Amino acid sequence: MHLAVYLPLLMPLLAAAAAGPLAGRLPPVAATWLLAGSAVALAAASSAVLGLLALTALVRIPLVGAAGEMSMQVLSRGDPASVPVAVAAGVLLAAAAAGACRAAWRRTAALIAAGRQARRLPGAGQVVVIDDEGADAYTLPGWPCRIVVTAGMMRALSHPERQVLLAHERAHASAFHYLFTTAARLAAAANPVLRPVADAVGYTVERWADERAAAAAGDRRLAARAIARAALAAAAAPPRPASHAAGALGAVTSVPRMRGAGPVPRRVAALLGPPPQPRLLLCAAAVLLVAVAGASALEAARELHGLLDYARAATGS
Protein backbone atom coordinates (compact mmCIF):
# COMPACT_ATOMS: atom_id res chain seq x y z
CA MET A 1 0.00 0.00 0.00
CA HIS A 2 1.52 3.26 -1.05
CA LEU A 3 0.22 6.74 -1.72
CA ALA A 4 -3.30 5.44 -2.30
CA VAL A 5 -3.77 4.68 1.36
CA TYR A 6 -2.65 8.08 2.58
CA LEU A 7 -4.43 10.22 0.00
CA PRO A 8 -7.88 9.78 1.59
CA LEU A 9 -6.31 10.84 4.89
CA LEU A 10 -4.86 14.00 3.36
CA MET A 11 -7.93 15.04 1.36
CA PRO A 12 -9.96 16.07 4.43
CA LEU A 13 -7.20 18.59 5.25
CA LEU A 14 -7.59 20.08 1.80
CA ALA A 15 -11.37 20.06 2.15
CA ALA A 16 -11.12 21.78 5.52
CA ALA A 17 -9.00 24.53 4.00
CA ALA A 18 -11.23 24.92 0.94
CA ALA A 19 -14.61 24.73 2.70
CA GLY A 20 -14.77 28.37 3.83
CA PRO A 21 -13.80 29.92 0.48
CA LEU A 22 -16.12 27.54 -1.40
CA ALA A 23 -19.02 28.38 0.92
CA GLY A 24 -18.52 32.04 0.14
CA ARG A 25 -18.13 31.72 -3.62
CA LEU A 26 -20.57 29.05 -4.77
CA PRO A 27 -24.33 29.53 -4.99
CA PRO A 28 -25.66 28.29 -1.64
CA VAL A 29 -27.68 25.34 -2.94
CA ALA A 30 -24.75 23.93 -4.90
CA ALA A 31 -22.37 24.67 -2.03
CA THR A 32 -24.57 22.86 0.48
CA TRP A 33 -24.88 19.73 -1.63
CA LEU A 34 -21.21 19.77 -2.52
CA LEU A 35 -19.89 20.37 1.00
CA ALA A 36 -22.25 18.01 2.80
CA GLY A 37 -21.64 15.32 0.17
CA SER A 38 -17.88 15.81 0.35
CA ALA A 39 -17.90 15.63 4.13
CA VAL A 40 -19.74 12.31 4.10
CA ALA A 41 -17.65 10.86 1.26
CA LEU A 42 -14.34 11.95 2.79
CA ALA A 43 -15.29 10.69 6.25
CA ALA A 44 -16.18 7.35 4.70
CA ALA A 45 -12.97 7.19 2.64
CA SER A 46 -10.69 8.17 5.52
CA SER A 47 -12.38 5.70 7.87
CA ALA A 48 -12.06 3.01 5.23
CA VAL A 49 -8.31 3.46 4.84
CA LEU A 50 -7.85 3.57 8.60
CA GLY A 51 -9.66 0.26 8.67
CA LEU A 52 -7.38 -1.12 5.96
CA LEU A 53 -4.26 0.00 7.80
CA ALA A 54 -5.55 -1.51 11.02
CA LEU A 55 -6.26 -4.72 9.18
CA THR A 56 -2.61 -5.02 8.16
CA ALA A 57 -1.72 -5.06 11.85
CA LEU A 58 -4.47 -7.52 12.63
CA VAL A 59 -3.43 -10.12 10.07
CA ARG A 60 0.13 -10.01 11.36
CA ILE A 61 -0.99 -11.36 14.72
CA PRO A 62 0.09 -14.99 14.20
CA LEU A 63 -3.18 -16.41 15.48
CA VAL A 64 -5.24 -14.30 13.06
CA GLY A 65 -2.90 -15.03 10.21
CA ALA A 66 -3.06 -18.72 10.93
CA ALA A 67 -6.85 -18.63 11.13
CA GLY A 68 -6.93 -17.00 7.69
CA GLU A 69 -4.32 -19.50 6.48
CA MET A 70 -1.95 -16.74 5.42
CA SER A 71 1.80 -16.73 5.12
CA MET A 72 3.39 -14.50 7.77
CA GLN A 73 6.45 -14.14 5.62
CA VAL A 74 4.52 -12.72 2.69
CA LEU A 75 2.47 -10.45 4.92
CA SER A 76 5.42 -8.84 6.66
CA ARG A 77 7.42 -8.55 3.48
CA GLY A 78 4.67 -7.35 1.20
CA ASP A 79 3.14 -4.67 3.33
CA PRO A 80 4.85 -1.32 3.76
CA ALA A 81 2.62 -0.07 6.58
CA SER A 82 4.73 -0.50 9.71
CA VAL A 83 3.16 -2.06 12.78
CA PRO A 84 3.12 1.20 14.80
CA VAL A 85 1.37 3.00 11.92
CA ALA A 86 -1.14 0.19 11.61
CA VAL A 87 -1.81 0.15 15.34
CA ALA A 88 -2.19 3.94 15.39
CA ALA A 89 -4.67 3.62 12.53
CA GLY A 90 -6.61 1.07 14.54
CA VAL A 91 -6.76 3.40 17.53
CA LEU A 92 -7.88 6.31 15.32
CA LEU A 93 -10.53 4.16 13.68
CA ALA A 94 -11.89 3.14 17.07
CA ALA A 95 -11.98 6.79 18.12
CA ALA A 96 -13.71 7.74 14.85
CA ALA A 97 -16.32 5.03 15.30
CA ALA A 98 -16.92 6.03 18.92
CA GLY A 99 -17.18 9.71 17.96
CA ALA A 100 -19.60 9.02 15.12
CA CYS A 101 -21.77 6.76 17.28
CA ARG A 102 -21.92 9.26 20.11
CA ALA A 103 -22.72 12.12 17.73
CA ALA A 104 -25.39 10.05 15.98
CA TRP A 105 -26.94 9.15 19.31
CA ARG A 106 -26.97 12.71 20.58
CA ARG A 107 -28.24 14.13 17.31
CA THR A 108 -31.01 11.55 17.05
CA ALA A 109 -32.09 12.26 20.62
CA ALA A 110 -32.10 15.98 19.90
CA LEU A 111 -34.09 15.57 16.68
CA ILE A 112 -36.64 13.36 18.42
CA ALA A 113 -36.96 15.87 21.25
CA ALA A 114 -37.32 18.72 18.78
CA GLY A 115 -39.94 16.81 16.80
CA ARG A 116 -41.88 16.08 19.98
CA GLN A 117 -41.62 19.71 20.99
CA ALA A 118 -42.72 20.84 17.52
CA ARG A 119 -45.90 18.78 17.88
CA ARG A 120 -46.50 20.05 21.39
CA LEU A 121 -46.29 23.74 20.50
CA PRO A 122 -49.63 25.53 20.73
CA GLY A 123 -51.74 26.21 17.67
CA ALA A 124 -52.13 24.38 14.40
CA GLY A 125 -50.23 26.75 12.12
CA GLN A 126 -46.61 26.38 11.14
CA VAL A 127 -45.59 29.61 12.85
CA VAL A 128 -45.76 29.98 16.62
CA VAL A 129 -45.14 33.26 18.40
CA ILE A 130 -44.00 32.69 21.96
CA ASP A 131 -44.26 35.26 24.69
CA ASP A 132 -40.60 36.03 25.25
CA GLU A 133 -39.05 39.47 25.38
CA GLY A 134 -35.73 38.24 24.01
CA ALA A 135 -35.54 38.55 20.22
CA ASP A 136 -35.11 35.12 18.72
CA ALA A 137 -36.42 33.01 15.85
CA TYR A 138 -35.73 29.46 14.77
CA THR A 139 -37.13 26.42 13.04
CA LEU A 140 -37.73 23.29 15.06
CA PRO A 141 -37.09 20.26 12.88
CA GLY A 142 -39.98 17.85 13.04
CA TRP A 143 -42.92 16.38 11.23
CA PRO A 144 -43.92 18.99 10.31
CA CYS A 145 -41.25 21.55 11.12
CA ARG A 146 -42.48 24.42 13.27
CA ILE A 147 -41.23 28.00 13.15
CA VAL A 148 -40.85 29.71 16.51
CA VAL A 149 -40.62 33.49 16.72
CA THR A 150 -40.49 35.36 20.01
CA ALA A 151 -42.65 38.38 20.69
CA GLY A 152 -39.44 40.35 21.15
CA MET A 153 -38.33 39.53 17.61
CA MET A 154 -41.72 40.40 16.15
CA ARG A 155 -41.51 43.79 17.81
CA ALA A 156 -37.96 44.38 16.65
CA LEU A 157 -38.82 44.03 12.95
CA SER A 158 -41.08 45.92 10.57
CA HIS A 159 -43.80 44.07 8.71
CA PRO A 160 -41.82 43.46 5.48
CA GLU A 161 -38.81 42.39 7.55
CA ARG A 162 -40.95 39.84 9.39
CA GLN A 163 -42.01 38.45 6.02
CA VAL A 164 -38.32 37.96 5.19
CA LEU A 165 -37.73 36.19 8.48
CA LEU A 166 -40.65 33.84 7.93
CA ALA A 167 -39.66 33.13 4.31
CA HIS A 168 -36.14 32.32 5.55
CA GLU A 169 -37.37 29.91 8.20
CA ARG A 170 -39.89 28.34 5.81
CA ALA A 171 -37.02 27.64 3.42
CA HIS A 172 -35.20 25.78 6.22
CA ALA A 173 -38.31 23.75 6.91
CA SER A 174 -39.26 22.91 3.33
CA ALA A 175 -35.76 22.04 2.12
CA PHE A 176 -34.99 19.84 5.16
CA HIS A 177 -31.82 21.72 5.94
CA TYR A 178 -31.37 19.87 9.20
CA LEU A 179 -30.62 16.71 7.23
CA PHE A 180 -27.67 18.40 5.49
CA THR A 181 -26.26 19.85 8.70
CA THR A 182 -26.76 16.56 10.52
CA ALA A 183 -24.99 14.56 7.81
CA ALA A 184 -22.05 16.97 7.79
CA ARG A 185 -21.86 17.04 11.58
CA LEU A 186 -21.77 13.25 11.80
CA ALA A 187 -19.01 13.15 9.18
CA ALA A 188 -17.07 15.66 11.26
CA ALA A 189 -17.60 13.55 14.37
CA ALA A 190 -16.03 10.58 12.57
CA ASN A 191 -13.18 12.71 11.23
CA PRO A 192 -12.64 15.90 13.27
CA VAL A 193 -10.45 17.32 10.48
CA LEU A 194 -13.73 17.85 8.61
CA ARG A 195 -15.16 20.20 11.24
CA PRO A 196 -14.60 23.32 9.11
CA VAL A 197 -16.59 21.61 6.33
CA ALA A 198 -19.49 20.97 8.71
CA ASP A 199 -19.29 24.59 9.88
CA ALA A 200 -19.39 25.70 6.26
CA VAL A 201 -22.53 23.64 5.67
CA GLY A 202 -24.12 25.40 8.64
CA TYR A 203 -23.34 28.67 6.87
CA THR A 204 -24.46 27.63 3.38
CA VAL A 205 -27.89 26.45 4.55
CA GLU A 206 -28.37 29.89 6.09
CA ARG A 207 -27.34 31.48 2.78
CA TRP A 208 -29.70 29.10 0.96
CA ALA A 209 -32.59 30.27 3.13
CA ASP A 210 -31.47 33.91 2.78
CA GLU A 211 -31.53 33.72 -1.01
CA ARG A 212 -34.95 32.07 -0.96
CA ALA A 213 -36.25 34.79 1.35
CA ALA A 214 -34.74 37.51 -0.83
CA ALA A 215 -36.34 35.97 -3.91
CA ALA A 216 -39.70 35.72 -2.13
CA ALA A 217 -39.48 39.36 -1.06
CA GLY A 218 -38.18 40.40 -4.48
CA ASP A 219 -35.75 42.71 -2.68
CA ARG A 220 -32.24 41.67 -1.67
CA ARG A 221 -31.60 44.85 0.30
CA LEU A 222 -34.75 44.35 2.33
CA ALA A 223 -33.62 40.82 3.16
CA ALA A 224 -30.17 42.09 4.14
CA ARG A 225 -31.69 44.72 6.39
CA ALA A 226 -34.03 42.22 8.06
CA ILE A 227 -31.12 39.95 8.94
CA ALA A 228 -28.96 42.79 10.22
CA ARG A 229 -31.72 44.25 12.36
CA ALA A 230 -32.79 40.88 13.71
CA ALA A 231 -29.20 40.04 14.64
CA LEU A 232 -28.73 43.30 16.51
CA ALA A 233 -32.05 42.78 18.29
CA ALA A 234 -31.10 39.19 19.21
CA ALA A 235 -27.78 40.41 20.58
CA ALA A 236 -29.76 42.66 22.93
CA ALA A 237 -28.25 45.59 21.05
CA PRO A 238 -31.05 47.11 18.98
CA PRO A 239 -30.16 49.58 16.23
CA ARG A 240 -29.50 52.99 17.71
CA PRO A 241 -32.63 55.13 17.79
CA ALA A 242 -30.99 57.87 15.75
CA SER A 243 -30.94 55.56 12.73
CA HIS A 244 -34.71 55.74 12.51
CA ALA A 245 -34.51 59.46 12.08
CA ALA A 246 -31.42 59.50 9.86
CA GLY A 247 -32.00 56.79 7.28
CA ALA A 248 -35.69 56.97 6.45
CA LEU A 249 -35.93 53.17 6.32
CA GLY A 250 -32.72 52.36 8.11
CA ALA A 251 -31.50 51.42 4.67
CA VAL A 252 -28.51 49.17 4.37
CA THR A 253 -25.84 51.41 2.93
CA SER A 254 -22.33 50.18 2.30
CA VAL A 255 -20.41 46.94 2.47
CA PRO A 256 -17.35 47.19 4.71
CA ARG A 257 -14.49 44.71 4.54
CA MET A 258 -15.52 41.28 5.75
CA ARG A 259 -12.15 39.96 6.89
CA GLY A 260 -12.61 38.06 10.15
CA ALA A 261 -16.33 38.82 10.23
CA GLY A 262 -18.81 36.36 11.70
CA PRO A 263 -21.51 34.58 9.67
CA VAL A 264 -24.23 37.21 10.09
CA PRO A 265 -22.33 40.17 8.60
CA ARG A 266 -21.12 37.91 5.79
CA ARG A 267 -24.71 36.88 5.03
CA VAL A 268 -25.79 40.52 4.97
CA ALA A 269 -22.88 41.45 2.73
CA ALA A 270 -23.69 38.57 0.36
CA LEU A 271 -27.24 39.85 -0.03
CA LEU A 272 -26.00 43.36 -0.72
CA GLY A 273 -23.88 41.99 -3.54
CA PRO A 274 -25.20 40.54 -6.79
CA PRO A 275 -26.93 37.14 -6.74
CA PRO A 276 -24.35 34.33 -6.74
CA GLN A 277 -23.43 32.89 -10.13
CA PRO A 278 -22.96 29.19 -10.75
CA ARG A 279 -19.28 28.26 -10.98
CA LEU A 280 -19.11 24.98 -12.77
CA LEU A 281 -15.33 24.80 -12.87
CA LEU A 282 -14.99 25.25 -9.12
CA CYS A 283 -17.66 22.62 -8.47
CA ALA A 284 -16.03 20.21 -10.89
CA ALA A 285 -12.64 20.66 -9.20
CA ALA A 286 -14.10 19.94 -5.77
CA VAL A 287 -15.99 16.88 -7.01
CA LEU A 288 -12.83 15.65 -8.69
CA LEU A 289 -10.80 15.86 -5.48
CA VAL A 290 -13.42 13.94 -3.54
CA ALA A 291 -13.56 11.36 -6.32
CA VAL A 292 -9.78 10.97 -6.14
CA ALA A 293 -10.04 10.30 -2.41
CA GLY A 294 -12.73 7.70 -2.99
CA ALA A 295 -10.81 6.04 -5.80
CA SER A 296 -7.67 5.97 -3.65
CA ALA A 297 -9.50 4.24 -0.84
CA LEU A 298 -10.81 1.65 -3.30
CA GLU A 299 -7.33 1.22 -4.76
CA ALA A 300 -5.88 0.73 -1.27
CA ALA A 301 -8.52 -1.86 -0.53
CA ARG A 302 -7.73 -3.65 -3.79
CA GLU A 303 -4.02 -3.68 -2.97
CA LEU A 304 -4.60 -5.11 0.49
CA HIS A 305 -6.95 -7.69 -0.92
CA GLY A 306 -4.30 -8.69 -3.44
CA LEU A 307 -1.70 -9.01 -0.70
CA LEU A 308 -3.96 -11.15 1.47
CA ASP A 309 -4.75 -13.38 -1.51
CA TYR A 310 -1.05 -13.77 -2.21
CA ALA A 311 -0.36 -14.62 1.44
CA ARG A 312 -3.05 -17.24 1.34
CA ALA A 313 -1.72 -18.70 -1.88
CA ALA A 314 1.79 -18.83 -0.35
CA THR A 315 0.65 -21.08 2.49
CA GLY A 316 -1.42 -23.20 0.12
CA SER A 317 1.51 -24.11 -2.12
Partner 1 sequence: MRDQAGQPGDAAGARRAAGELEAGVLAVLQAAGRPLTPGEVRDRVGGGLAYTTVVTILSRLHAKGVLQRRKAGRAYVYAPVADEPGLAARRMARVLDGEADREAVLARFVSGLSGTDEELLRRMLGDPPGPEGG
Subset of 163-202 contacting partner 1 (CB under 8 A): 165, 168-169, 172-173, 177-178, 181-182, 185
Q: 82 Cβ partners below 8 Å, 6+ apart?
A: none
Establish if 99 lies at the interface with partner 1 (CB under 8 A).
Answer: no
45 scored as a contact of partner 1 (CB under 8 A): no
Could you tell me which stretch among 13-21, 22-30, 130-138, 284-292 binds partner 1 (CB under 8 A)?
130-138
Contact call for residue 253 and partner 1 (CB under 8 A)? yes
List 227, 293, 300, 308, residue binding partner 1 (CB under 8 A): 227
Nearer to partner 1, 11 or 222 (CB): 222
Q: Which is nearer to partner 1, 78 or 170 (CB)?
A: 170
Cross-strand bridge partners of residue 137? 149
Residues within window 286-315 making contact with partner 1, judged by CB under 8 A = none
> Interface with partner 1 includes 101 (CB under 8 A)?
no
In terms of Cβ atoms closer than 10 Å to its own Cβ (0-12, 13-18, 19+), residue 81 is buried
Angle formed by the axes of helices 220-234 and 195-217, nearest 10° = 120
Rounded distance, CA 59 to CA 68, Å? 8
Site for partner 1 in 14-43 (CB under 8 A): none
CA distance 210 to 31: 14
Nearest distance from C-beta of residue 33 to partner 1, angstroms: 17
CA atoms within 13 A on the CB side of 316: 7
User: Which one, 68 or 238, has the nearer CB to partner 1?
Assistant: 238
Stretch binding partner 1 (CB under 8 A), from 79-87, 91-99, 264-272, 274-282 = 264-272
| Closest CA relative to residue 48, chosen from 85, 89, 76, 98 | 89
Q: Distance between the two ends of the chain, CA-based, in angstroms? A: 24
- Give the count of beta carbons closer than 10 Å to the beta carbon of residue 265: 16
CA distance 8 to 41: 10
The reply on whether position 113 binds partner 1 by CB under 8 A is yes
Residues 62-81 touching partner 1, rule: CB under 8 A, are none
Stretch that binds partner 1, among 40-48, 60-68, 101-109, 307-315 (CB under 8 A): 101-109
Binding flag, residue 229, partner 1 (CB under 8 A): yes
Number of residues that bind partner 1 (CB under 8 A): 76
